[in-house]
Each structure stands twice: as structure tokens, then as C-alpha cells.
A = this chain, B = another copy of it.
Amino acid sequence: MPLPRALSEAVEAEFPRALEDLKALVRIPSVSARGEGQDAARDAVARLLECAGLAVEIWPTKGPGVVFAEGGSDSRTLLFYNHYDVQPEDPVSAWHSPPFTPEIRDGRIYGRGTADNKGDLVSRIAAIRAFERAKIPLPCRVKFLVEGDEEIGSPSLPGCVRDKRERLAADACLWESSARDQLGHEMLMLGVKGILCLRVECRGPGRDLHSSLATSFENPAWRLLWALAALKDASGRIRIPGFHDGVEPPCESDLAAVQALPDFDEKALAGAGARDFLDGLRGVERRRLDYFGTTLNISGLTAGYQGPGSKTVLPSKAEAKVDIRLVLRQDPARIVSAIRAFWDEEGFRDVEIASWDGYPAARTPVNHPAVKTISDALEDSIGRRPLVAPNFLGSGPLYLFEGMFPTIAWGIASHDAHEHSPNEWVGLDDLRRGIRGIAGILLAFGGP
């Protein structure tokens, strides 16, 4: 159903205010990593939601609190998930304009948080206002869950979702993020991988020794390296018993979704500055692994002397950071136990899992009716049918909402919007289209 003319005009009319709202939010440096500006951002978001006619509550958490808002008719319920915090702005010197001073250049607005995800948030709120301006009652029930520490791993969210499960009930959730792909297609993303981050340590002598003593003393860098090599062999095979237990291969519709996605191998290679993909995989084979494969990645290695030249030292300590992307049915705690048991079995009791953190994967099935509802709504409202990615390569705490509602991510930014990097931007057209697309989705949710 295309937007009624009055609504379409109201969407246009709301754009300037949405832009001002975005500028005002970007000016608040709500950097959760430093615990800065979160209160001010929380209160500003609460005011925006109130002005859009919603009933707003601040739910206290161990962090800066969650903004919850609710309104609309008593039909089906759509929950919007967003966050009011942003990534740190450094390196500041790499920005062409100050990160917390929004600046418009060449049809884009630059500033920290424009794409991730203050732009999404203001476009969603503007769409609510557009209904009021058009004097059309909100066609469905609307809820907002806006948290303030997403960028540091959402430490407050599990408690909040546990406590407020009933208040958060919905028929579907529109998540933040997702972005247009390398070829400019709108994208829905239907899941996230889980993640397990491990810090692994091995300790040797009480102090760094002269390396000539390597005849007599064990080197913890070797121990660490052998223990890691035991986890995954040089062919890339993960050797941890039980690692893949319970993992199901992607179903027919998952594979069909992957098959339907366009091929941008060359752009991906160029973007990464790589000559080839792992194992030479290409096209649908590679995409299938991207969306449904696990990883066992070394994100950091530290031991001994790292300066210029050589210093012949036998280090007293070696450390690795490892991250593992999980697919459905893989439980982080179970995998930590499996690694510990495997290392014990293989003679690596001295290699310590010093700390770990993680959560499981979650996905919405590609054939869930809400996917079609949203796809149709976007096609009708902005004239672009989104591609449907059955999963996201990265991770997020979607698992908290499992069994509550289907979760679908759609965002207004482009894949190259420099999220988490200097010179983050969102296009003015992105913002305009975002308001329109959300208005269409709200209409569709209120429909039969």
C-alpha cells in the first residue's frame, strides 16, 4: 500500500525538523566507553519521544538507563530498538570537521553517531510525528526501547529485558543498523552471530630471562602457540571436540536467500586489500560461509620484545586474544568448557583461559511473515524492495529477545558510512527516505 498523499506530504514536512533533531543529538557527545554525555542524550531522546506523542518512561539500570516509550492504537505492536550512545571519536585528527559539530557537505551530514544510530532514531521518531501532522491515527501500537550502552556491549540490557519482558511484548522488532550494500541495495538482516571472546594466558619464569636459558626453561610463547595450533589446524579445521555439536546446516529457504543475494566478491576483495578469499572460495559458496559459518579468530598476540631490532629474551608471559563467532545452537559457556577439557586432554593445563565473555546467536527465519510485511512496505513507500540477508556476519544481543518476537534490522545508512571510524556520515536523502520507509512500515503493521 503506497503512502496516502497526506502522509507523504507530512513525511516531507517533517524532514527539516528531523535534521535539526539529528544535529541536536550529534552535539551531545554520548560516548559510553568514557561514560560521558549519556544522561544528556537519554533526556534529549525522552523529550523527542514525548513530543511525538508517546508515553515515555526512564527505566533505571546499572548503566545510564533505558528510555521506553509507547503509544498508538491497540492493533499489532511494532517495537523499535535503538541506542543513544556512540563510539569514541578518536582519532580526532582524522576528522575533516569536529566529530560533535554536525556539518553538512555534499548532501551528507557528518558527525559521530549520524549513521550509528542517531540518524535511524530521529527518522523513526519523525515518522511517528508525520502521522500526527497528517491527522492519521497511528495505525499500530508502537514501542521504543532506546538503550545507552550498546557500544560497550549492552551490559544493562539483559537485566532490563528480564525485568520488563511483558512491557516489551510485540509482534515484531525493527532493530537498528543494517545498511545498504556495496551495490546500493536496501538490506534487511534477520539475525546475528553469537560471540565468544577469550583472553588466553600462559606464564613461564617469574621474570624475562636471557634467551640463552631456553635450554633449561619453558618458553610460555611456545606453549601458547602450540595450544592455539591445537584448536585449529593449518587447514583451518577446528579440532575442539563438541564445537559443532547441535549445529544444523542452513535450511532450504536460508540457502535460497543466500543464492538470491548479489555477488560483490571483487568489491569485497578491493575493500579488504586482499588478493583472494580464504580457501579461494567465491560467490555463493563464500556467502554461505559468511552467513552460516563459525570463526575462530586470533585478534591479538603479545609476548616478549616487540620493538625494533632483536632482544634475545625468554618472555615470562604470553597472551592471546581469541574471538569465536557462533551460529545457532552454540553456547559460549559450553564451548569454553570444551576448550578447557580439550587443552587438559592435550597436555595444555598450563595454558589459562584468563577471562571470557560472550552470548549466543539468534535469528529470525527468512520465511517469517513479518519479513514479507516489511519488504512489501518498503517497496510501496520508498520504491525499493530490500534484499534479505538471512544473517549478519557480526554479533549483537538479539538472543535476549528470542521467543518474544521476530527481529529484523533495517537502517538508513550506507555500508561505507564510516561507522565506528572518523568522518561518519549519513546522507540527507537517507534520512528523508528513512522517515518515508518507517511510515510505510507502520502503515503495513496496522494493515490487515
By a beta-carbon cutoff of 8 Å, the part of chain A in contact with chain B is 193, 195, 197, 199, 204-207, 209-219, 221-222, 225-226, 228-230, 232-234, 268, 272-274, 277-278, 281, 286, 289-290, 293, 295-306, 310-316, 318-319, 321, 323, 325, 347, 357, 392-395
Contact yes or no, A211 B295, CB < 8 A: yes
Contact yes or no, A195 B289, CB < 8 A: no
- Chain B residues near A193 (CB-CB < 8 A): 212
Contact yes or no, B299 A211, CB < 8 A: yes
Contact yes or no, B216 A273, CB < 8 A: no
- Chain B residues near A286 (CB-CB < 8 A): 215-216
Question: How many protomers of this protein does the assembly include?
Answer: 2
Q: What's the Cα separation between A300 and B296 when bound, in Å?
A: 23
Q: What's the Cα separation between A17 and B290 when bound, in Å?
A: 77
Minimum distance in angstroms from A175 CB to a CB of chain B: 16
Chain A binding surface, main DSSP class: mixed
- Chain B residues near A226 (CB-CB < 8 A): 229, 233-234
Question: Which residue on B lies nearest to A220, using beta carbons?
Answer: B298
Minimum distance in angstroms from A312 CB to a CB of chain B: 5
Contact yes or no, B314 A218, CB < 8 A: no
Of A234, A286, A306, A394, most B-chain CB atoms within 10 Å:
A234
Contact yes or no, B225 A195, CB < 8 A: no
Contact yes or no, B272 A217, CB < 8 A: yes
Contact yes or no, A299 B274, CB < 8 A: no
Known pairs A206-B273, A304-B301, A347-B234; A278 contacts B221 (CB<8 A): no
- Chain B residues near A299 (CB-CB < 8 A): 211, 304-305, 310-315
Q: What's the Cα separation between A393 and B273 when bound, in Å?
A: 45
- Chain B residues near A298 (CB-CB < 8 A): 219, 221-222, 225, 303-304, 315
Contact of A300 among B222, B277, B306, B392 (CB under 8 A): B306
Selected A-B contacts with CB under 8 Å, 16 pairs: A197-B312, A211-B325, A214-B297, A215-B286, A216-B268, A216-B278, A222-B232, A222-B298, A225-B225, A225-B228, A273-B316, A299-B311, A299-B313, A299-B314, A301-B301, A304-B321
Contact yes or no, B314 A216, CB < 8 A: no
Contact yes or no, B293 A215, CB < 8 A: yes
- Chain B residues near A325 (CB-CB < 8 A): 211-212, 214-215
Question: Which residue on B lies nearest to A236, using beta carbons?
Answer: B222
Other contacts beyond A299-B304, A300-B303: 20, CB < 8 A = A197-B310, A204-B274, A205-B273, A207-B272, A209-B272, A211-B299, A211-B323, A213-B393, A214-B295, A215-B289, A215-B290, A216-B268, A217-B277, A222-B298, A225-B225, A225-B228, A298-B304, A299-B315, A300-B315, A302-B306
